[in-house]
Amino acid sequence: PAVEGFEAAIARAAAVRVDKPFVKRKLTRFNAAFDAVADAALRERLDDVAGRATRDFAAGRYEAANRALNQGFALLNKDRGSR
């Protein structure tokens, strides 16, 4: 049962299209989370990620923008876990 659930999750993830609308929604969520960060050091690291994501998005490199956003969300989650 656990293996079947894992395989189903992998299949759903593979079906997600990383296109402009997908990354735009994710960028909007990231920006909202970024705006809520008060820690200056974390904001600096997130600002770098946001810049890369924005440049990649503007250039039509949606997979790269998505990877940058994933890194940003990982930083945010790590910060939440350390509190």
Task: Report the amino acid identity of residue 76.
Answer: L
Rounded-to-integer distance, Cα 8 and Cα 3, Å: 9
pLDDT computed for residue 81 by the predictor: 64
User: Is the four-CA dihedral 35, 37, 38, 40 of positive or negative sign?
Assistant: negative
Token representation of residue 77: 């989650």
27 touches 66 (CB < 8 A):
no
Longest Cα separation, the chain: 45
Residue 9 scores a pLDDT above 70: yes
- Digit-coded pLDDT (tens) for 10-69: 777 776 789 999 999 999 999 999 999 999 999 999 999 999 999 999 999 999 999 999
Which of 73, 82, 30 lies closest to 54, judged by CA?
A: 30
Q: 48 or 78: which carries more pLDDT confidence? A: 48
